[in-house]
Structure 1
């Protein structure tokens, strides 16, 4: 199910009152929420329910065994087994065809046929997200950071429908303890929840969908047919589109979870206001950034083994992060660009004798502009279907100035300005809006929400495109 659809609205209208009714009785609420979440997931393809259930059983059994095993060797063997199962399933569904196509390319260079065939495997929606959450669970059990819970609670944790298909990536310690405490419907922060849902809807339905249909899809599909100005604006538009699309989804997910009585970690913090690539990754998809740091970068050695190995660890982490986003070499290049930039940032700021310059307003804005344009350049590889298409976009930035640019409209420029400009608003403004909304009488709140929904529907294109991160 897509969040901004009538189908999900009907589903949630049925689930929410029942959830509130059962909140004080957690022993009844948990099985109800498992069933509701499985119904939600079955809206995509009911056959993959068995995959989700299998992941739940596999990780619960091994996490419990790891926790109760004293022998370091056996504990490590169990951890390797758990990781092999998780990554094996993820690798088959997400990377099998990519591996075969890459292998075929290598074999063709020497005039041989690859021994495997492409199978066109359907990617289960959300598999990357719930696999990473399952890995967090078993690794935290191995590190003695989190004691495994009951199968019922773990099933809720892994399948909870607000985060199931596209995050945020919630850690065991962030959600499972909340399952032990009865939720009080009277203490639900409805003003914040409705604000997040309304703004998330606007970002997805109005900003992201409008930019995709008005310029991004058309230019990236055939960059050779467009002017340099259209290509440049399309790159900016995609930067705003992917931010509005994904942050819009996670805003809605966090708001929906709040209505159910649960708190999720924040996932975005004005990423296009970042002053360095390192700062960007502190603000963009923050739950993934922390996951990569704690479960990939630090286990590789982090920054504990000297500068050269630190640069290597940064690069490997971002290459894996790029590959996680999609089974294509363009994603690997995107990750490599960010890995190289992170290594360069670290070298520049940690080299011997380096004295940090005084942070004037001019320097801060210069750093923001440089960081934003680097991120936009890397997005070209992220969005392009192939290296050829990415190269056409890059060369097109220099070879078609002065040509007609009918796709560069006032509406497109305004949507880009809103998407970027909103990230420079003072942090206190959302709080003030929520505070004023919460003080309104209930009928007035209903009128405001109805107006916001009507405005979003009127401004957005017809239909709702799938969220970009559903394919990852």
Structure 2
């Protein structure tokens, strides 16, 4: 069930009406939201609803046991068991096929080729997101940052449909306190939520979908059939597509949660205006980057120690972050590229000559964007050979145009330009619109949605991050 579809719109209208009609009974409200979330998830494959429920029950029991145990060693053992159990489930569904392929290739290289059975598993939508959410919950309970939650609250935390399949990764400390009492209707929050939904619809259905079908997919499908100019604009197009696609989902997720009375953390902050790769990761997929920082980078030692030690931690964090995105060498290379550049940035900050003047802001933004762009080519290409073929096509310096249209060029420029709008322009607009009469605001937003619908291409592709 995709957000920008009529089916989801009808589903949400029912959920919205039921949720606010149960405002006087918080427990029944949460039960209704939980059942709606299971229905939403089951629309893809009802079999995996059982996996979602089982994951919540196991993590609930482990958290209770961690709190009940008086011995620090037992608590550490339980949290370790929980982390291993969650990663095992994630590893089975997401990586068993990849590692069985690598084993077969390795045996062939050393002359021990065998008919290794190719193990595959159907990937549950959003498993990476709710698995990481469960791990952070267990670790935070062990650290004493959050109390052990009741079964209903934890199950709803992990199943809540706005963030379930593509994030943001909402932590227990952010959402569980909000579940403690029934929310009250808030005009300002509702207005901001509606604006986020409409803005997300525009970015997804107009910019991302048009670029995907008309520019990016043809460029990456067969790079050898395209000119260097086509590939260059196709790479820019993918940078815009993935930003507009993913930020659109999280905008809509935040907006939908706001209409139901809950607040999600911000997940994007104009990432293409970043001045360094470290700055980029403070702006891009913030819930994941902060998760990797708090639950992987800092436990590894973080920035404590010498440069080599810090770079090791950075590389491990980014490579594992790349692997989190999928079982592919391209994702590992993408993570390693980001880790290596961040290591170079750290070394350069401490070792550069004193006479070396920092780059002007515009130049730093330009360089950072193109470093990110190189990584996106590995991220988008299906295989390593496809990625190297793409770079070879770029190096051919063939400037014929067989693919790019004025519309696609305009959408690329618009998608990049969005990152340079005044900071917090959307919340400021919401603050102004909240004072409009409700009928006028409703008509204005409704008319905007109709305009967006008229502008979009036929069909709605799944969000890119659904497969993670």
TM-score (norm 2): 0.97
| Aligned 8 A contact 1:24 1:184 in 2 | no
- Residue in 1 that maps onto 2:298: 298
Aligned residue among 424, 427, 449 for 2:423 = 427
Aligned residue among 358, 369, 372 for 1:372 = 369
- Residue in 2 that maps onto 1:381: 378
Instruction: Compute the displacement of 1:181 (Å).
Output: 2.0
Instruction: Compute the displacement of 1:194 (Å).
Output: 0.7
- Residue in 2 that maps onto 1:450: 446
Quote the Cα distance in structure 2 between the aligned partners of 1:77 and 1:452.
54
**Residues 42-441 of structure 1: pairs in structure 2 closer than 5 A:** 42-114=42-114, 116-187=116-187, 189-351=189-351, 357=357, 363-403=360-400, 405-441=401-437
Q: Which moved more, 1:423-432 or 1:223-232?
A: 423-432
Instruction: Compute the displacement of 1:79 (Å).
Output: 1.3
Quote the Cα distance in structure 1 between the aligned partners of 2:227 and 2:273.
28
Quote the Cα distance in structure 2 between the aligned partners of 1:402 and 1:128.
41
Cα displacement string for residues 206-238 of structure 1 (whole angstroms, at most 9, x for unaligned residues): 100000001100110100000000000000000
Unmatched tracts of structure 1, length 5 or more: none
| Aligned 8 A contact 1:188 1:261 in 2 | no
**Measured at CA, do residues 71 and 239 of structure 1 come closer, stay the same or move farther in structure 2, by a change above 3 Å?**
same
Cα displacement string for residues 239-261 of structure 1 (whole angstroms, at most 9, x for unaligned residues): 00000000000000000000000
**Measured at CA, do residues 428 and 63 of structure 1 come closer, stay the same or move farther in structure 2, by a change above 3 Å?**
closer
Quote the Cα distance in structure 2 between the aligned partners of 1:19 and 1:444.
25
Instruction: Compute the displacement of 1:142 (Å).
Output: 1.3
Quote the Cα distance in structure 2 between the aligned partners of 1:114 and 1:276.
47
Instruction: Compute the displacement of 1:430 (Å).
Output: 2.0
Quote the Cα distance in structure 2 between the aligned partners of 1:394 and 1:353.
33
Q: Which moved more, 1:432-441 or 1:307-316?
A: 432-441
Q: Which moved more, 1:336-345 or 1:116-125?
A: 116-125
Quote the Cα distance in structure 2 between the aligned partners of 1:81 and 1:141.
14
**Measured at CA, do residues 435 and 186 of structure 1 come closer, stay the same or move farther in structure 2, by a change above 3 Å?**
closer
Instruction: Compute the displacement of 1:23 (Å).
Output: 2.5
Cα displacement string for residues 356-414 of structure 1 (whole angstroms, at most 9, x for unaligned residues): 846xxx710000000000100110000001111001110111214232x1311110111
| Aligned 8 A contact 2:188 2:431 in 1 | no
Quote the Cα distance in structure 2 between the aligned partners of 1:406 and 1:419.
22
Instruction: Compute the displacement of 1:337 (Å).
Output: 0.1
Instruction: Compute the displacement of 1:119 (Å).
Output: 3.1
Instruction: Compute the displacement of 1:67 (Å).
Output: 1.7
Instruction: Compute the displacement of 1:417 (Å).
Output: 0.8
TM-score (norm 1): 0.96
Instruction: Compute the displacement of 1:455 (Å).
Output: 1.4
Quote the Cα distance in structure 2 between the aligned partners of 1:195 and 1:356.
45
Unmatched tracts of structure 2, length 5 or more: none
Secondary structure of 1:239's match? helix
Quote the Cα distance in structure 2 between the aligned partners of 1:355 and 1:11.
62
| Aligned 8 A contact 1:23 1:185 in 2 | no
| Aligned 8 A contact 1:66 1:142 in 2 | yes
Q: CA RMSD for the aligned pairs?
A: 1.5
Instruction: Compute the displacement of 1:444 (Å).
Output: 1.5
Secondary structure of 1:189's match? helix
Cα displacement string for residues 299-333 of structure 1 (whole angstroms, at most 9, x for unaligned residues): 11111132211100000000000000011000000
Aligned length: 468
**Measured at CA, do residues 97 and 151 of structure 1 come closer, stay the same or move farther in structure 2, by a change above 3 Å?**
same
Quote the Cα distance in structure 2 between the aligned partners of 1:355 and 1:67.
56
- Is 1:32 equivalent to 2:32 in the alignment? yes
Instruction: Compute the displacement of 1:352 (Å).
Output: 8.1
